A = this chain, B = another copy of it.
Amino acid sequence: MNQPAVVLLSGGLDSATVLAMARAEGYACHALSFDYGQRHGAELRAAERVAEAAGVVDRKRIHLGLDAIGGSALTDDSIAVPNQLQEGVIPVTYVPARNTVFLAFALGYAEVLNATDIFIGVNAVDYSGYPDCRPAFVEAFQTLANLATKAGVEGAKFRIHTPLITLSKAEIIRKGMALGVDYGLTVSCYSADESGRACGVCDACRLRAAGFAAAGAPDPTRYF
């Protein structure tokens, strides 16, 4: 029987690639998505399509009231999503403690499944502004995971897999295409409309479009 793994799946390009990589490694994948008051509900529908196409064992969508906390352009309507990348500054699209919250839930879900493997599509190259995408953060979470859980106390060793962490967007896209990922199913845009069409100007759109160009691959993104 294949080993179970929890895969954090946002519906974007990166997590769709991670899911394909986890499947290719032979894991029985349990996809976990969050409805956290993000502006792009289209992303959640994309997560469903991606999970279905990849053939996951199970997928769960968890509601989190992150919007009650605010502090990010992605969860707080009073903060605008910027159209330009600001170099050297942590973007306002940073959601306070988001990956910590996501991994904490993934850990709980893994424990219930008797799984010790968790996959997350963090990337320290393109999103170097996000503190919770760095290797040091991931290592600290792995240490925490083994201390935080009944499974850890009983000897389990959790592994947080971050197969994209050192890859460029173009490298991620090439990996995914080699594994048959249909990026037309994914949504990356911070301001996507209900049908999943992208704005083409936000940070996420720019990085994605540049990635397809650098990979020499056709960009399947639908823009409005």
Contact = CB atoms under 8 A, between A and B. Distances in A.
B112 A108 contact: no
A98 to B, nearest CB: 7
A181 B101 CA distance: 31
Best-surrounded residue of A103, A143, A148, A150 (most CB of chain B within 10 A): A148
Q: How large is the interface on A (under 10, 10 to 19, 20 to 34, 35 or more residues)?
A: 35 or more
Main secondary structure of the interface of A (DSSP, over half): helix
Best-surrounded residue of A100, A136, A152 (most CB of chain B within 10 A): A100
Nearest to A106: B97
Given A108-B71, A112-B71, A148 B65 contact: no
A163 interface: no
Number of copies: 2
A168 interface: no
A135 to B, nearest CB: 10
Interface stretch (A13-21, A47-55, A56-64, A203-211): A56-64
Nearest to A136: B147
Interface in A134-174: 134, 136-137, 140-141, 143-145, 147-150, 152-153
29 contacts: A63-B63, A64-B65, A69-B108, A90-B150, A90-B153, A96-B107, A96-B109, A96-B111, A96-B149, A97-B111, A97-B148, A100-B107, A100-B144, A100-B145, A101-B105, A103-B104, A104-B104, A131-B152, A132-B147, A132-B148, A136-B147, A137-B144, A137-B147, A140-B147, A140-B148, A141-B144, A141-B148, A143-B144, A144-B144
Interface of A: 60-66, 68-71, 90, 94-101, 103-105, 107-109, 111-112, 131-132, 134, 136-137, 140-141, 143-145, 147-150, 152-153
Given A90-B150, A96-B107, 12 more contacts: A61-B68, A62-B64, A62-B65, A63-B63, A69-B108, A70-B112, A96-B109, A131-B148, A131-B150, A132-B149, A134-B147, A140-B143
